[in-house]
Each structure stands twice: as C-alpha cells, then as structure tokens.
C-alpha cells in the first residue's frame, strides 16, 4: 500500500485497515459519531499516508451529487470574462466544488448542445452569462438542476439573476458630470451593441438624466461607432475632433457607453494631445482599465463589479443546491458599478 497508486478504492483502504468498506465510507463522510476512537485513528492514518481520495464519479451515482457546476460563457476570450471565471472558480473551490467551463461563442445552438452535455456530466447546477436560451434554462431549473443567470440579460427572467445595475451607475455618473459643470453629454456606443442587452439601460439612464436636467442647459447627443472603426485609429481621432469642434462654448463630456471603446477613445484623445479639463473630458466604462493608466486618473470611470458578480452568483447557486429551496422565490440581485472620481473633480 503506497501513495504511488493514484487510483485506489475504498476497498483497498478497508483491507489495509482491516475493516469493511462501509466503515471507511462512514469515515470519509464524517459520520464518526458511532465509531471507535481506535478505528477512526487507524483509518485516518492510512488515508493520510496513501493520500487516498475517493472516486467522486462513483459516489455521485448514489448521492446524485457530483460537486461539479457548469459555467456557460458567451465568449471566454473577452476581456471581461477572466474576472468572472476566476471569481466563480474560486468560490466553487472554496466550497469543495469544481467548475466546468464552456464557451458558446454567442452561438445559440452550440449553447444548447453544450448545456445538454454539462447535464450529461451531472453538474449540480449551472451559471450562465449568455442571456440566451432562457426557455431551456427555465426547463432545466424546473427539473431540479438550479440555474443562475448573470451579467447578460434582456428583460425578465424566471431564474435567479445577478446583474450589474447599469442604469443606476450611469445615472449617477451622468449626474456627477452635470453637477461639475458639463452641459453637453455625448454618449458613444458601438452600433453592434446599440439597444442590446446590458447596453440599452446605460444609454437610457444618461438620456433620462439629461432630459430631466435640460432646464439647466444640459443636452444629450448620441454617436454610433461602427465596428469597422476599430481597425483604424484615424477614425477615432476624427470623431473626437468633430465632437471637440462643435459647440465649443459648451463644456462637453464624452460618455463612453461600453468598455472596449474606452481604450480607443482614450488613446485617440491622448494622441491628439488634448487634455482633460473642465471644458472637455472623457468618462464612462473602462473594462480594460486603460483609462485608469493612460488617462492617469483624470477620467471619471465606471467599472463593472465582475468579481462580486461571480462570487454572488456562485453563492446563490450553492444555496439552491444545498437547501433544496425550490419553493422560495427567485432572487434578483443588482450590483452597483464602482465609480472612480478623478482628483481634479473633487
């Protein structure tokens, strides 16, 4: 009996100790209330020496628990996902669970297939960040495999949901800009994201705040950025140039509605040798944290609480799994963006 044999069974342990499989199984599941100190310590010693770990797949057959949870990501290579994935994996491992990660590449059919495969692996629950295939997830949830929805979502969900409160964050940021003297708010969003998913409320919030404060001379403009612009830095410089030239009398704040745009906007801004001032500024989402470094802290910046989101989603899921709280109402958890206020604003 050596530690070399990676695939031992509890029978091996039982033989070594001189007890039955059952007793070893009891030990492994912490049911030593009715076990002699003696046997307990002997089993303990052998298991420690051999570094034995019971075969989870085998156990799951009886318990219907694999301690595996499925994570469905729309695009694992996106800059936003590492924090989400890592927080979910960490929260799972902290609770002796493991995470199976699959990436759908925004393909709805592929997602269906992958989710079915996760279930074939008997995952105890699923976290999805895709916002698609809601009917499928609802069906799964109802059949007893809890599903928690994160991040992406359009409209209502029949599931537990953890979301960023983009409306509130943007509302707050817009008010902040206006309070500090900016009157013309130029909202930038990629045309491919316009009105979609988590992006619609961002625009809505800024637009609404501007409308509500129009008596103070505030107005809202919106500019759609084509995806093709990402290939050509000149496009961003021209765009900023144009914004900067128009309405020069009005203190203007560019509000970047989406995290990937920010990098390009800040870089263009920096290359044009413009400066942050009370007359012209850049603000908005900054998922790649480029504004934090390149903008040198001069930009009012909104960040999504991705880590908190992952942790929260996992906690809710594990809660559902542990106490079969099907009957209890679904939760809808809204997380606040963090807003980083530049020193110059204070």
Partner DNA sequence: CTGTTAGCGCTTTCAG
Partner DNA sequence: CTGAAAGCGCTAACAG
- Output the CA–CA distances (angstroms, integers) from residue 196 to 23, 204, 234, in the order listed: 57, 12, 27
Q: Site for DNA (CB under 7 A): which residue of 5, 55, 277, 338?
A: 55
Query: One symbol per residue from 56 to 95: x for binding DNA (CB under 7 A), - otherwise; what is it?
Result: --xx-xxx--------------------------------
Q: How near is the Cβ of 308 to a copy of itself at its closest, in Å?
A: 13
Residues 49-108 that bind a copy of itself (CB under 8 A): 51, 53-58, 60-61, 66-68, 75-79, 81-83, 85-87, 89-90, 93, 96, 98-103, 105
Applying the rule CB under 8 A, the residues between 111 and 170 that interact with a copy of itself are 114, 116-122, 139-140, 143-145
Interaction of residue 1 with a copy of itself, rule CB under 8 A = no
Q: How far is the CB of 339 from DNA (least distance, A)?
A: 48
Biggest distance spanned by C-alpha atoms of the chain: 89
Distance in Å, CB of 176 to a copy of itself, minimum: 23
Q: State how far the alpha carbon of 275 is from the alpha carbons of 70, 73, 240, 272, 298, in Å.
A: 46, 38, 12, 9, 9
Compute the least distance from the CB of residue 140 to DNA, in Å. 17
Instruction: By CB under 7 A, tell whether 321 contacts DNA.
Output: no
Tokens 């990098």 belong to which residue? 263
* Tokens 């992952």, residue located: 310
Rg (CA), the chain: 26
Q: According to the binding rule CB under 8 A, does residue 242 interact with a copy of itself?
A: no
**Structure tokens belonging to residue 118:** 């996760």
Residue 270 binds to a copy of itself (criterion: CB under 8 A)? yes
Binding characters for DNA, 20-39, by CB under 7 A (x = yes) = xxxx-xx-xx---xxxx-xx
By CB under 7 A, is residue 11 in contact with DNA?
yes
Nearest CA among 147, 69, 57 for reference residue 101:
69
Q: Is 7 in the site for a copy of itself (CB under 8 A)?
A: yes
CA distance 250 to 237: 20
Query: How many whole angstroms separate alpha carbon 190 and alpha carbon 153?
Result: 18
Residues 259, 265, 270: CA angle, nearest 5 degrees = 130
Residue 23 touches which of DNA, a copy of itself, none (Cβ within 5-8 Å per kind): DNA
Distance in Å, CB of 16 to DNA, minimum: 12
With CB under 5 to 8 Å by kind, the binding choice for 77 among DNA, a copy of itself, none is: a copy of itself
Residue 340 sits in the site that holds a copy of itself (CB under 8 A): no
43-78 per-residue burial string, b: 16 or more CB within 10 A, e: under 16: beebbeebebebeeeebbeeeeebbbbbbbbbeeee
If phi > 0 it is left, if psi is from -120 to 50 it is alpha, else beta; for residue 336 that is: beta
Question: From the list DNA, a copy of itself, none, which binds 343 (C-beta under 5 to 8 Å, kind-based)?
Answer: none
Enumerate residues 6+ apart whose C-beta is below 8 A from 273.
Answer: none
Q: Is 253 helix (H, G, I), strand (E, B) or coil?
A: strand
Least distance between a copy of itself and beta carbon 50 (Å): 12
Residue among 257 and 310 whose Cβ is closer to a copy of itself: 310
Residues near DNA (CB under 7 A): 7, 9-11, 18-23, 25-26, 28-29, 33-36, 38-40, 54-55, 58-59, 61-63
């Amino acid at each position: 009996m050596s530690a070399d044999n990676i695939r031992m069974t509890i029978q091996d342990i039982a033989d070594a100790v001189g007890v039955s499989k059952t007793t070893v199984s009891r030990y492994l599941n912490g049911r030593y209330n009715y076990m002699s100190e003696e046997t307990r310590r002997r089993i303990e010693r052998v298991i420690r020496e051999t570094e034995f770990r019971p075969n989870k797949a085998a156990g799951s057959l009886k318990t219907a628990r694999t301690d595996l949870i499925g994570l469905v990501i729309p695009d694992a290579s996106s800059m936003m996902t590492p924090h989400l994935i890592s927080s979910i994996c960490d929260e799972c491992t902290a609770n002796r669970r493991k995470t199976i990660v699959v990436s759908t590449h925004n393909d709805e059919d592929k997602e269906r297939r992958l989710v079915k495969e996760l279930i074939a692996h008997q995952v105890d629950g699923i976290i999805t960040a895709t916002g698609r295939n809601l009917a499928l997830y609802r069906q799964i949830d109802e059949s007893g495999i809890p599903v928690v929805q994160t991040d992406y979502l359009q409209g209502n969900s029949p599931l537990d949901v953890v979301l960023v409160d983009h409306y509130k964050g943007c509302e707050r940021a817009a008010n902040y800009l206006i309070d500090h003297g900016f009157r013309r708010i130029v909202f930038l969003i990629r045309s491919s994201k316009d009105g979609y998913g988590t992006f619609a409320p961002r625009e809505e919030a800024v637009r609404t705040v501007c409308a509500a404060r129009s008596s103070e001379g505030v107005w809202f403009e919106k500019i759609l950025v084509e995806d093709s612009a990402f290939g050509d830095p000149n496009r961003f410089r021209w765009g900023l140039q144009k914004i900067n030239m128009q309405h020069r009398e009005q203190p203007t704040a560019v509000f970047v509605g989406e995290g990937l745009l920010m990098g390009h906007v800040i870089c263009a801004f920096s290359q044009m040798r413009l400066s942050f001032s009370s007359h012209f500024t850049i603000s908005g989402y900054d998922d790649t944290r480029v504004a934090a470094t390149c903008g040198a802290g001069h930009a009012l910046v909104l960040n999504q609480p991705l880590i908190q989101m992952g942790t929260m989603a996992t906690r809710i899921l594990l809660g559902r799994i542990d106490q079969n709280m099907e009957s209890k109402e679904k939760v809808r958890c809204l997380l606040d963006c963090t807003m980083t206020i530049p020193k110059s604003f204070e």
